[in-house]
Structure 1
Amino acid sequence: MNEISHPETGEEADRADKDRLEAGRPDISRQRQIIDRRALETGLRSALVGEDDPAQAQPRVATLLREALQAGRAEIERRFEADRHAPEAGRDVGRHTSFLIDQLIRALHDVTTGIAYPIANPSAAEKIGIIAVGGYGRGELAPFSDIDLLFLIPYKETPYCEQVIEFMLYRLWDLGLKVGHSVRSIDECIRQAKTDLTIRTALLEARYIWGDQDLFDRFQKVYRKEILQGQGEAFYHAKLEERRLRHERYGNTRYALEPNIKDGKGALRDLQTLRWIGRFLYGARSSEEMVERGLFGKADAAKFDKAERFLWTLRCQLHYARGRAEEKLNFDIQPEIARLLGYRDHAGTSGVERLMKHYFLMAKSVGALTRSFCAAVEAQNVRKPLLRLPAGMAAIGLRRRELDGFGLEGGSLTVPNAKHFERHPVDMLRIFAVAQRHDVDIHPITFNWLAQSVRLIDRSLREDPKANALFMEILLFRKSSLAGGDKGGPEATLRRMNEAGVFGRFIPDFGRIVAQMQFDMYHHYTVDEHTIFAIGILYQVEHGLLIEEAPITSSVVHQVLSRRVLYLAVLLHDIAKGRGGDHSALGAEVAEQLCPRLGLSAEETETVAWLVRYHLLMSNTAFKRDIDDPKTIADFAAQVQSIERLRLLLVLTVCDIRAVGPKTWNGWKAQLLRELYNRTEEQLSGGLITAGREARIAAVLDDLKAQLVDWPPEAIEEHLARGHGGYWLSFPVPLLVRQARLIREAELEQRPLSVDYNVDHYRSMTEVTIYVADRKGLVSQLAGAFALSGASIVDARILTLANGMALDTFTIQDSQGGPFDKPARLARLSSTIGRMLDAPQRIPAEIGKLPRLANPAVQAFPVAPRVLIDNKASATHTLIEVNGRDRRGLVYALTAALTAQNLQISNAKISTFGHRAIDSFYVKDQFGLKVEAESRLKTIRDVLMAVLNDGESDAPAVTDMLAANRRRPRSSTNAR
């Protein structure tokens, strides 16, 4: 990189620094309404005069400073609230807050050195310069940000300097300010700046506040000479590497739904990084000066200022809403921030979703500005470009300057000039295909020209067969020997196309979901980012990279007849999100219009549309229905109709779930999908699930007997007599063996309660089997015990054996979706189960003591409670599906309500999607029949809705249910 002589040198720089001494003051109207420094200083002097020991005046000094700080902050906040929609509202807060702190420090310094520790003729060693560094040095302070100070001294710290600095710092700490400080000489500053990038950056923004200004001026001269001159290349690369590592720490995506608006990708720190580089290399302190130095065009400078203004206003509003320094825009505060900033519900999109879409578009704009800025730096400094030559292209790059019609510069594709794409619009797609095919990058300057040319993508280009063929080549990219490396297949290329704006222009329906937020706790990314992630996961599945996590899917993916159908189904499955209707049905309509344009046949188009329409069918069936029920399999198979569709749907479902966010996929979900797939494949292949039922039961019993060879024959026969056909087919043989041994031990030892655990780390779950005398309300009592122990139920199999004993098997997880496996927690769970079964009347009160919500952010999300009752889903049971806000003890409250209605619970599927609980119960009435009377169904629905709508605590309602239940005479059949 060619070194740039820093433009500010010598007397010119000195004058510029002095001119900026009071920078911001002319921009701050009615300054004394924020703080009257002279009045404050007068008060402080009065408090200190006459005190032999300055510490004695500390309470009065603290009071005066605190009052000034609180009044100033209140005035700044009042101005912000009155004008928060003005473009400069946030940056005004930053300037005003910086001004307030400046004045406090100046007044405190003057009374400290003039009254508390006066010295008539300070020696050179006793001089102190108070310098703002970091963000404070820029004159930008968010309402509750840290204050970074440098106490600049000539040489080593003297006792006098130590007294003054200590007195000032303690007074600032008394105010509750978070002060980061250092005490350094000029030599120490320079020495540490040379070795520490953070210090070098902080000192780049050093600003004189008060004290000895000559000391500060000397420091500035030395810094320019020793640090700025000749270090531009190192600083440039170091800051970009620092940026890359910071992005990794914060998830490496601009589209996380709870973004850090200061340090995340596309956030304020990225803009500040550009400022630092521009200032270090070129002395550019503003976007206007960046334009003058050729780092930005005027349009980019306007975008820079717009993004900075937006982010500053958002950050200040977040600080004020939290009442503290907070940089993460969490779900629970997003609706309030949206309301305060004036975002309203509109056209099927909520105000909070509109706010977050605005944020994500700004974050995307910051990414584009960074590319534009780096392209300009690269253009001006060609000796050592930012982008290194990829290993796979090293030999080619050394031999040639052209690749498939594009230029090569430093191993990156280029075009001759900014007009190239206007003359050859199809190259806006072809350049991505060539880059993908040869595993090379697109040069930053060319990428910038490309992004500026997306307006040229019009109907004629969208309908160009060559352009559509190129898009499909990119989407269906498969790793080959041509690629020297592999940057993630189509995922990386599609993401770059999205960043450039090409993706959304070429596929306008995709453009509608760019930066589209889904305001819930289940999804972790914007819709476009989720979709691109899903494409990347499909590529990994296809290349065997997820064979351990998804072995069946990794095999099935190679059996599908059309890769084009599969990739387009994944691409389009959420294409209609945010349109105010059923996104699956609307997405199918988009697929029917788009697929022919992309070259798919009518048959392929129909299959893609079907997959998009039913892309939630498999997960809903696996996670919400009893897949041991033959009718569930029969109904699912009737909708799927073909093995090819089943294969495609399995792969699409797995990619969709895995792309939702970290920890969304686990072994338990994998098992449910695998079992549903296998049983449906058997049905579609002609082997009915119900066919040969007796033979299947006989085979299971033979296997079970073989596992119990250590038992006396009469004990085996006695155990087999306890079960029934449905029981033997409900569990795998290893679990049947565990249950058999549990039952035998309990009977031999005459234990009233037996609990067995089977931790399955692969499936991320723990099976809990409970053998106890059957009783009314047993399921709800056990659910209460699990809730009190912090365990989440995800599945329940409820059985009553022929001997009248209950054998209930629950699948549980911890609050993070992992196995409930800590020995101490399991022991506590056993104890809790015993206590709650002995005294079930205590459950409501004990649950009432728990925090109602495991995660308070859940309260931010609207959930419309709903109860669906289906008598067609099962041949033998009534299916009740309950939707509502997740909370502690919800399963207990629901099962208690069902018990109070004299219903037997035979099976339960408990699912939580972020903040939303979707629980399904298979029930019978007290006579073992379906519930079909309309009046009875209405009562059940009303009771469950009352539980879901319970605002503060479900304890009273549940207590009433149980009390009423105890007053009723026991029926001959237990309502569990």
Structure 2
Amino acid sequence: MPANLSSALETFKRQRDAAEAHYLKANRVSVFFREYTAAVETLLAALWAEYFQNSALCLMAVGGFGRGELYPCSDVDLAVVSPNPLSDGIQEQIARFVQTLWDCKLMPSVKSGGIGELCESVRDDITGDTAFLEARFLFGNRQTADELAEKMNAQRNVPAFVEAKLVEMEHRHAKSQGSGAVLEPNIKSCPGGLRDIHTLLWIAKAQGLATNLPDLLKQRILTRAEAGMLSHGYRRLAHIRIHLHLNANRAEDRLLFDLQPQVAESMGYEGLNLRRQSEELMRVFYRAIKTVKQLGGILTPMLQSRVSSTPLRVTLRIDDDYIQVNNQIAARHTDIFFRRPEHIFKIVEIMQQRNDITALEPQTLRAWWGATRKINRSFYQNSENRHRFAGFFRNGNGLTQTLRFLNLYGVLGRYLPAWEKIIGLLQHDLFHIYPVDDHILTVVRNVRRLALDMHSHELPYASALMQSFEKQDILYLAAFFHDIAKGRGGDHAIQGIADARQFAADHFLTGEESDLLAWLVENHLLMSAVAQKEDIQDPDVLDAFCKRVQTHERLSALYLLTISDIRGTNPKLWNAWRASLLESLFHAAGRYLTGNGGNPHTLFGRRRQEAADLLTRAAVPEKQQKKLWNALGSAYFARHQSREILWHAANLVHDFETPIVRSRILPKSNSFQVMVFMPNGPRLFARLCRIFSRHGFDILAARAFITEHDYILDTFIVQIPSQHAPEDYPDIQSALEAELNSFIHGHTVAEISSHSRRISRRSRYMPIAPSITITPEEDYPDWYSVEITAVNRPFLLADMAEVFFAHNVSLRYAKISTLDERAEDSFTVFSLDLKNPKIQSSLKQTLLEQLS
């Protein structure tokens, strides 16, 4: 590199470092952009003079660099423009120029060509056209730059450009779904992120209205208050993005788990633990993007309407106060919301009742939103407002959109102070992926979908149950209140009862409706916990559950709420296995409450008789059947459900001395059920678990059983890794059976270290403290329940089984509840030694060491 360029590079580095140091001290976004942009331009001036002095070319800043918004590790967007097509010699010069930029670590993104060539290149390229919309002259021939800008603007079809940018935004938002996008959001491209602000400005600039936020205020597109809010939201997001780049030392726009605490600390969230720092940062982030989304709801349709090619404006009278304009509702006099505050809910009520109205007209929305900030205790105490708010739930039509709209514009938090506390509240429990308010509204959405015939194909049985359920509005309210007490410390299910009952009393619910609502809020985790953690084949478990539930109405409501809650927590959690667990518990409890199936002896006898009938139809002699039942023992029928018993019996009745492996693919799922039958021996359960883990299977449930003649009959439900297609399942099944057959016949299977597999970023940086409880089983001496909560990882179950074996604890039943990256496992174990406190303490300590 020539000496003069080396000097220029050193100057740039000093200026860049000074800009960063000044920013970290003064914390002013605009000053950083100005100083860093100036540093880059100083270097570019030296490079331009070296390569293109006195040429007819010009250098233009485009994209983010063009608008002067240059982040520490962003690309430097440039255009080298010639009045004529580029010669080979000029192209070689440009290549050397670009290489030097790379050598200077500038991350250049360069377009080059003649004016006509560049205009043609962006004619059907919305991204390129947008970059040149923000072009500004740097060096060289200014006439060339002006000519390019003039031709670019002349060829731009503004209505088509606006429509394309809005479609682009919709697609961008659609991609920002799923757990990764919610937990580690991209600050630039997420809904309400920086790119949404840019889109508003691009649409305005293409129409010749504004180039920045102050311009939008001057043009009266924004009010002074709105301009202040949008500027504040923009600065919040820009601050976070600058700190992200500085901490990651790369162009990282995702708020990754490992970066969240670093960014929070560098932004001044001190004196907190890592989790609290992350929570505070993310709450600021969520509130900032919410502001952008709020204002986008007003500005986007306003800007779009100026160039819209929609059909002729059609206006219809609704009543004395409102008209319908195309698909929007407009107030005849926008001050109505200040003069008569009851209209804050009335206009929403009209919109909910009318399927042909999808939005508030922008000026009406602006006035309505301004009036909502006046919602206070007096507004809440107004009976008309209470009737309308409760009516949103009774009506049901458009309920999800109504509540999301009210939440977006802050109305839910103003009307219900308890709601304000959960807005943007994160849950670092390794399975919730949404802030609490978003999770609740997703659960309401799921309950509502069950009531709509058009969605019945998703969950046919639950949909039919919901559509025949008489108190649908109470279920919607239960979904709305089930987590409203999160973040207060203590049991949110218990604390939420008071909120639910107060709401019921204030909103004219009957005593019966209030009781059902409060019961559902208090018990919304009950069915999930029993189905996923306990042995629902155990009559004592079923009896305890039904004593809590008591009625068929509660059972149906709880079943529907539980399904909706799990599906609204994390898409990864809902699968055919969980569905079958809940459905089995629902039907078993239904029979119990009806009076069919409460007696354990009747239940066990029925299971045995069903299996005997099957074998009799298969011409198996009664004598042979008795030998099988004697080998299995009477406890077998208490620990297995009918479907398992029928499967086992069909495979074992002719020979219950020879080891066998059998597996079957469970219907409508990506799971196998596997049975292993072989002589008992040390560490067998743990070694089997390692085989499943080595194949990448998640173990969803496991039942370890020892027969009267000392054979193990272990049954597993294992989930196939998600990357495999259904057509691969038979090959996977064959490979697994082959290895298990090798194992049961004494061939050694190589074992893999439990610590050879990495855990996710989320688990590393937002872990949960492992917990263990050991409880004696009532009425069963030397039997214990062991409950374990920990970060999920490969080989976890195998490692715990090894610990049990080392402490002479016999594992008889395991219920594995994998909630994304969180494991909540329940074990039934037998031990003559655990009554000794020292041995029990030693078991706990060793388990904790494994879990940590």
User: Could you tell me which residue of structure 2 aligns to residue 652 of structure 1?
Assistant: 561
1:862 correspondence with 2:791 = no
Q: Does the 8 Å contact 1:476/1:490 carry over to 2?
A: no
Q: Which residue pairs with 2:791 in the alignment?
A: 885
Please give the alpha-carbon distance, in whole angstroms, between the structure 1 residues aligned to 2:350 and 2:826.
51
Q: Deviations over 1:465-513 (max 9, x none)?
A: 221221122223245xxxxxxxxx2001111111222222222222222
In 1, Cα distance between equivalents of 2:180 and 2:325: 28
**Structure 1 residues not aligned, in runs of 5+:** 1-39, 45-60, 115-120, 390-396, 480-488, 950-976
The reply to whether residue 632 of structure 1 matches residue 593 of structure 2 is no
Q: Contact 1:93 / 1:316 at 8 angstroms: preserved in 2?
A: no
Q: Secondary structure at the match of 1:594?
A: helix
Q: Percent identity?
A: 27
* Superposition deviation, residue 805 in structure 1: 1.9
Contact 1:41–1:111 (CA under 8 A) maintained in structure 2: no
* 1:511 counterpart (398, 414, 420): 420
Aligned partner of 1:258: which letter? E
Cα shift readout 1:821-859 (whole Å, capped 9, x = no counterpart): 64554455456657777688963xx22462242x23211
1:591 match: secondary structure = helix
Q: How does 1:788-827 map to 2 (within 5 A)?
A: 788-814=694-720, 816=722, 822-823=729-730, 825-826=732-733
Encode CA deviations 1:856-904: one digit per residue, 9 max, x unaligned. Answer: 3211113122111122468473100011222222212211111111111
Contact kept, 8 Å, 2:229 with 2:291, in 1: the verdict is yes
Q: What is the alpha-carbon distance in structure 1 between the residues aligned to residue 794 and residue 22 of structure 2?
A: 42
**Which position in structure 2 is the counterpart of 1:460?**
378
Could you say if the C-alpha distance between residues 73 and 336 of structure 1 is closer, same or farther in structure 2, counting changes exceeding 3 Å? same
Matched, 1:942 2:842: no
Corresponding letter in the other structure for 1:532: L
- Which one has a bigger Cα radius of gyration? 1
Match of 1:313 in 2: 239
Shift of 1:703: 3.1
- Name the amino acid aligned to 1:288: P
Residue 816 of structure 2 aligns to a residue whose secondary structure is strand
Does residue 353 in structure 1 map to residue 279 in structure 2?
Answer: yes
Query: Corresponding residue for 1:196?
Result: 125
Alignment of 1:248-267 (within 5 A): 248-251=174-177, 256-267=182-193
Q: CA deviation at 1:73?
A: 4.8
**How many angstroms does 1:376 deviate by?**
4.6
Q: Which residue of 2 aligns with 1:705?
A: 615
Q: 1:320 is paired with a residue of what secondary structure?
A: helix
Q: Provide, for residues 188-213 of structure 1, a one-character-per-residue CA deviation record: whole Å limited to 9, x for no partner.
A: 33334443322221111112232322
1:152 corresponds, among 41, 61, 81, to: 81
Deviation by residue 1:324-369 (Cα, 9 ceiling, x = unmatched): 2112223333233222222357799923222111111111100122
SS in 2 for 1:577: coil
Aligned to 1:448: 366
Q: Deviations over 1:259-318 (max 9, x none)?
A: 211011000001111111222213422222211111111111112221111111111211
**Mapping of 1:538-937 within 5 angstroms?**
538-687=447-596, 688-693=598-603, 695-706=605-616, 708-709=618-619, 716-728=625-637, 730-731=639-640, 735-740=644-649, 742-743=651-652, 754-814=660-720, 816=722, 822-823=729-730, 825-826=732-733, 829-830=736-737, 833=740, 843=751, 846-848=752-754, 850-853=756-759, 855-872=760-777, 875=780, 877-925=783-831, 931-937=834-840
RMSD: 3.1
Amino acid at match of 1:697: R
Map residues 116-131 of structure 1 onto 2, 5 A cutoff: 127-131=56-60
Question: Offset at 1:618?
Answer: 0.9
Equivalent-residue separation in structure 1 for 2:432 and 2:332 (angstroms): 42
1:172 aligns with 2:101: yes
Q: Per the alignment, do residues 597 and 849 of structure 1 end up closer, same or farther by CA in structure 2, a change over 3 Å counting?
A: closer
Please, which of 207, 212, 216 is the counterpart of residue 281 of structure 1?
A: 207
Matches within 5 A, 1:384-403: 384=308, 398=314, 400-403=316-319
> What do residues 437-477 of structure 1 show as CA deviations (whole Å, max 9, x unaligned)?
11202112211111111122222221222212211222232
Within the candidate set 138, 141, 147, 1:212 is matched to 141
Question: Which one-letter code corresponds to 1:407 in the other structure?
Answer: I
Q: Which amino acid aligns with 1:591?
A: A
Alpha-carbon spacing, 1:706–1:492, altered in 2? closer, same or farther (3 Å): farther
- Name the CA shift for 1:743/1:549 in 2 (closer, same or farther; >3 Å): farther
Amino acid in the other structure paired with 1:701: A
Structure 2 counterpart of 1:774, one-letter code: N
Out of 406, 431, 434, which is 2:350 matched to?
A: 434
Q: What's 1:43 paired with? A: 4
The count of residues paired between Structure 1 and Structure 2 equals 846
Structure-1 separation of matches of 2:21 and 2:266: 14
**Counterpart of 2:183 in 1: which secondary structure?**
coil
Distance 2:420 2:539 in 1: 43
State the distance in 2 between where 1:941 and 1:609 align: 37
Structure-2 separation of matches of 1:743 and 1:71: 79
Contact 1:338/1:352, CA 8 A, preserved across alignment = yes
Give distance in 1, aligned partners of 2:217 and 2:279.
34
| 8 A Cα contact 1:294 1:376, kept in partner | no
**1:328 aligns with one of 243, 254, 259:** 254
1:753-811 per-position Cα deviation (integer Å, ceiling 9, x unaligned): x3322222524422121122211221112122222222211100111223322111111
TM-score by length of 1: 0.81
Question: Hey, what does 1:952 align to over in structure 2?
Answer: none
Structure 1 counterpart of 2:328, from 412, 417, 440: 412
Between the aligned partners of 2:275 and 2:650, the Cα distance in structure 1 is 56
Displacement, 1:151? 1.6
Question: In the superposition, relative to structure 1, how do residues 359 and 849 fare at CA in structure 2: closer, same or farther (>3 Å)?
Answer: closer
Shift in Å, 1:697: 3.5
Please state whether the residue corresponding to 2:207 is helix, strand or coil.
helix
**Cα displacement (A) at 1:567:** 1.6
- 1:413 maps to a residue whose letter is I
Distance 1:174-1:937 versus aligned 2 partners, 3 A rule: same
- Return the letter of the residue paired with 1:335: P
For structure 2, list consecutive stretches of 5 or more residues without a partner in the other structure: none
Which stretch of the first structure deviates more once superposed, 907-916 or 263-272?
907-916
Q: CA deviation at 1:684?
A: 2.1
CA distance in 1, matches of 2:274, 2:61: 47
Q: Measure, in 1, the Cα distance between the counterparts of 2:723 and 2:823.
A: 14
Partner of residue 439 from structure 2, selected from 498, 519, 530: 530
* Distance across 2 between alignment mates of 1:761 and 1:109: 67
Change (3 A) 1:68 1:671: farther
Q: Evaluate the alpha carbon distance shift between residue 685 and residue 691 of structure 1 in structure 2; reply closer, same or farther with a 3 A threshold.
A: farther
Q: Deviations over 1:18-73 (max 9, x none)?
A: xxxxxxxxxxxxxxxxxxxxxx97433xxxxxxxxxxxxxxxx7xx7876666555
Distance 2:395 2:850 in 1: 51
Q: 1:896 to 1:253 in 2, by over 3 A?
A: closer
In structure 2, relative to structure 1, the CA distance for the partners of 1:723 and 1:131 (3 Å cut) is same
Counterparts of 2:779 and 2:138 in 1: how far apart (Å)?
Answer: 77
In the alignment, is the contact (CA less than 8 A) between 2:834 and 2:840 conserved in 1?
yes
Mean Cα displacement is larger for which, 341-350 or 181-190?
Answer: 341-350
Distance in 1 (CA, whole Å) between partners of 2:315 and 2:193 is 40
Match of 2:151 in 1: 222
2:10 pairs with 1:105: no
Letter in 1 for 2:323: G
CA distance in 2, matches of 1:745, 1:340: 70
